[in-house]
Amino acid sequence: MFFKKKNFTCIDIGNHNIKVVNLNVDGEKLKLNDLAIKRIPNEIVKNGIIIDYAIAGAELKEVVNSMKNISKNIITTIPNRDLLIREVEIPLMKDNEVKESLKWEINDELPYDVENAVFDYELVKKFKDKLKFMVIVVKKNILKNYLSILEKANLKAKVVNIQPMALLSILEYSNLLNNSEIIVDIGSFSSQITIGNKTEIFLSRTVDIGGINFTKILMDNKNLDYKTAENEKHDLNLDTELSEKNDYNLNLDAGINYNYQFVSSVNDLASEINRSIEFVQMKNRELKFDNIYITGGGSKLSGLKDELGKNISQSLITLNNYKMINMNSKIEEQFRNNKAEFAVAIGLGISEVMADED
């Protein structure tokens, strides 16, 4: 692969952390020069949604001010739960007629008026009598709110990409996207399930199961505050917790053992993954999946992958193949400790780099 010389600053504003990376490319090399991660204050997040964009902007400004050489080529994204991603087929028509036709095709699927939407589209496949497009839609005010966070930090996004494309780009850059693949990004408040290949996203959905589920179990059963429960969760090992005797105490008088609640949350996530696979295979019977890649801060919970794998037939693989990315030695340890959290931010840069490939 040969890439144009360019610098990028990639910003991923989650509901738990702000992640920023500086990447540069020159020829065949992609290098991670700097990175930073900062926790978002709990008080500006409600039910997994940022409610104070001004404070979020101030937090982002503090992050970028701590970094060197912020690029003017800024790439960002918005939460997957705010996106609608669909494959739409329309009859053959002139290029200047496509946008209007797609606009009305997606209108019935939106919970709001199409005039309040911003959408983009990409041709997936051209048939003899029809065209297949991938259409991406977001509500105007949601996009405006997220871009305002950057504006508060005196930044302006040059590109707004989508998280599923960013994560699939990591696999493609690592030569792991030869067929269709599944990626599960386990975040703080939710998990994103993406099924796609180099040209198509067959499914992208968000389920309300994330790291917060395990935090709340500890809070409720051990009478802990949020911060203490979060710290205890990081030291938790599901393999150890779930191997203790009396894990499944269902005596209602005594209360349900909280280890059972851990299992229940993991099983719920496994069920959502299996349901997603079945849905895609109903429409695309030729698709087979051997692996599921997992990433995101929630995936770091010790023992989660093994417990999740008990109810999934595919092999679970941690998405951490960054061998093809050079790195500033000063940031290696920070990256190693937080690489699951930085996946989307790095994927944003890779996606843009590959789009510019000669």
CATH of the domain at 222: 3.30.420.40
191, 250: one domain? yes
Same domain (yes/no): 201, 314: yes
**Does 193 reside within a domain?**
yes
pLDDT at 152: 95
| Domain assignment of residue 336, yes or no | no
Cα gap 39→59, rounded to integer Å: 9
- pLDDT exceeds cutoff 90 at 315: yes
In 3D space, the residue among 20, 53, 236, 22 whose CA is nearest the CA of residue 151 turns out to be 53
Give the mean pLDDT of the chain: 88
Residue 158 above 60 pLDDT?
Answer: yes
**Is the domain of 130 the same as that of 227?**
no
Q: How far, rounded to the nearest angstrom, does the alpha carbon of residue 100 sit from its chain's CA centroid?
A: 29
Looking up tokens 């692996």 gives 291
Kindly report which listed range (8-17, 35-44, 47-56, 284-293) carries the lowest average pLDDT score. Answer: 47-56
Q: Clarify whether residues 89 and 206 are in a common domain.
A: no
pLDDT for residue 243: 52
Q: Residues 6 or more apart from 180 whose CB is under 8 A from it?
A: 195, 196, 197, 200, 202, 287, 289
- pLDDT tier at 242 (50, 70, 90 boundaries)? low
What is the value of pTM for the model shown?
0.90
Q: 181 and 115, same structural domain?
A: no
What's the mean pLDDT in 245-260?
Answer: 46
Same domain for 236 and 118?
no
Element (H, E) at 120: strand 117-126
**What per-residue confidence (pLDDT) applies to 261?**
84
Query: Which range among 138-142, 225-229, 320-324 shows the weakest confidence by mean pLDDT?
Result: 320-324
CATH code (residue 89): 3.30.1490
Range of the domain at 120: 83-135
Structural domain includes residue 283: yes
**Tens digit of pLDDT for each residue in 337-346?**
999 999 999 9
Q: Clarify whether residues 188 and 304 are in a common domain.
A: yes
Q: pLDDT per residue over 96-111, tens digit each?
A: 999 999 999 998 888 8
> Which residues face 38 on adjacent strands?
18
48 in any annotated domain: no
Percent of the chain having pLDDT more than 90?
A: 60
Please give the average per-residue pLDDT across 181-191, as a whole number. 95
Q: Residue 325 falls within a domain, yes or no? A: no
Residue 294 forms part of a structural domain: yes
Do both 87 and 193 map to the same domain? no
Number of domains in the chain: 2
**What pLDDT is stored for residue 230 in this prediction?**
86
Which pair of structure tokens corresponds to residue 3? 């890439």
Q: Do 273 and 185 reside in the same domain of the chain?
A: yes
